[in-house]
Amino acid sequence: MSEKRAARLSPDERRAQLVAIGLDMLADRSLDELSTDEVARRAGISRGLLFHYFDSKRDFYRVVVQQECDCFAAATEPDPSLEPVPWLRSFIIGFVAYVLEHRKVYLALVRGAAGSHPTVEDIVEGTRDTLARRVEEGQRRLGMPDSPWLSIASRAWMAFAEEAVTSWPLDEPDVLAELAAFLESSFISLLSTLDRPAALTH
């Protein structure tokens, strides 16, 4: 059976469609297995037309991963006008909610081969750096003094949070609230190894 003819889309719409297909496929395969032939087939266009929108397969891979990482970073950015404790909770809830909704792609990027692929490793690591800086900002908002340990503590907590969100049972009731509370408690415990801020003593 022949493929259904592709609907007419504007260049921006077509590009967005192809990226969305790539993200959907990335949920259950490695980056190397993300076939541009299959992406084009699903979109109902030729492989040659796909490369009208992207310079190369590498370019397509990077755009797909960059979009996912940008969305993740945006979802975890709290309102800067919030007070320190609500700011921290907003960050943690945003982190948990996004991963629960996009868990398969998150696993592919953070825990799978895609995240360490040389084509996109800098993008994934850059996103980790962004989140780690937000953890550091949260610590400072809570009154922690600048210290060389803040960066180490931030990275340590991010590794802990990544393990928690990827391993937490999804069949438990109220997963979002329970997991967010667990991560907040772990954050407080981590700070207590440095100098627990007064804002979180009650």
Mean pLDDT of the chain: 86
pLDDT at residue 194 is higher than 90: no
DSSP code at position 12: H
Confidence band for 191, pLDDT divided at 50, 70 and 90:
confident
Architecture of domain 11-62: Orthogonal Bundle (1.10)
Residues of the chain with CATH 1.10.357: 64-195
Helices (H) and strands (E) in the chain, counts: 9, 0
Question: Quick count: other Cβ atoms within 10 Å of Cβ 192?
Answer: 12
Q: What is the mean pLDDT of residues 19-30?
A: 89
pLDDT at residue 113 is higher than 80: no
Q: What is the distance between the alpha carbons of residues 63 and 69, in angstroms, rounded to a whole number?
A: 10
- Give pLDDT tens digits for 114-163: 556 888 989 998 998 999 899 888 888 888 777 777 788 888 898 899 99
- Give burial (CB, 10 Å; 0-12/13-18/19+) of 69: buried
What is 64-195's CATH number? Answer: 1.10.357
- Give pLDDT tens digits for 94-106: 999 999 999 888 8
More confident residue, 23 or 188: 23
